[in-house]
Chains A and B, each alone.
Chain A
């Protein structure tokens, strides 16, 4: 069975400092991985996706993630946080056999001025 584990339920950073949101995955085959963001009282928006092409994936709003098979990780980073980045972030793996998205438990990012 496939799963993702988000290692931090909350992350707090100051505006202008780097962001690191950690995600480990478990998969019996090469996974498809996604990061989604959910702003307060809003729906989910795709930040980026990994589909076995380049291991470093660039997404929207300056976010990127690196797929590391040896570490079974897919951490999300951004060089410089902005106040508007404050939101809930979900690491997601797609189960190719069942067409299901399997969500992590989410990481709440707070950005302080």
Chain B
């Protein structure tokens, strides 16, 4: 009965590889997000989708490509992985577009290590 789930939980890969992280929410929410947490625990939004449409696209390298096949899923594909991509990636979801009054529910995170 997990609300927001991510797979895999851990991902270790070599520089230059391409990898994907999957996210699913069973809360019936309309909006989903990807956040990156760096080694100093700083969290920053990367993308958000509302009903499969891209709403927020922060200054993220175009090696990162989110894909939302339906409003319950938001996957993150990363091409040509670099050392600096090592981080914990969190998926989140909320009801509606506005984040002001709607709590965002976070997944457990995916720890990506690029060697």
Which residues of A approach B to under 8 Å, CB–CB? 32, 34, 36, 38, 41-46, 49, 51, 88, 90, 94-96, 98-101, 103, 105-106
* Residue from B45, B48, B92, B99 whose CB has the most chain A CB atoms within 10 Å: B99
Residues in A whose Cβ lies below 8 Å from that of B90: 43-44
| In the complex, residue of chain A having the shortest beta-carbon distance to the beta carbon of B45 | A100
Task: Give the contacting residue for A101; candidates B40, B101, B104, B107; CB below 8 A.
Answer: B104
Residues in A whose Cβ lies below 8 Å from that of B56: 98-100
Interface contact B99-A101, CB-CB below 8 Å: yes
Residues in B whose Cβ lies below 8 Å from that of A49: 103
Residues in B whose Cβ lies below 8 Å from that of A38: 41
Interface contact A88-B103, CB-CB below 8 Å: no
Interface contact B106-A94, CB-CB below 8 Å: no
Residues in A whose Cβ lies below 8 Å from that of B42: 103, 105-106
Could you tell me the distance between the alpha carbons of A105 and B41 in the complex, rounded to whole angstroms?
Answer: 7
Chain B contact residue count (CB 8 A cutoff): 25
Interface contact B103-A32, CB-CB below 8 Å: no
Task: Give the contacting residue for A106; candidates B4, B41, B108, B109; CB below 8 A.
Answer: B41
Shortest Cβ distance from residue B43 to the other chain A in the assembled complex, whole angstroms: 4
Residues in B whose Cβ lies below 8 Å from that of A45: 106
B98 interface residue per 8 A CB criterion: yes
A45-B106, A99-B48, A100-B56 given; A51·B101 CB < 8 A:
yes
Shortest Cβ distance from residue A21 to the other chain B in the assembled complex, whole angstroms: 14
B44 interface residue per 8 A CB criterion: yes
Interface contact B99-A43, CB-CB below 8 Å: no
Residues in A whose Cβ lies below 8 Å from that of B107: 43
Interface contact A42-B44, CB-CB below 8 Å: no
B12 interface residue per 8 A CB criterion: no
Interface contact B43-A90, CB-CB below 8 Å: yes
Chain A to chain B: the 5 pairs with minimum beta-carbon distance, closest first: A44-B106, A103-B43, A32-B100, A43-B106, A43-B108
| In the complex, residue of chain B having the shortest beta-carbon distance to the beta carbon of A30 | B100
Interface contact A99-B55, CB-CB below 8 Å: yes
A-B contacts, 13 listed (Cβ < 8 Å): A32-B101, A34-B103, A38-B41, A43-B108, A43-B109, A44-B90, A44-B92, A49-B103, A94-B99, A99-B56, A103-B44, A105-B41, A105-B42
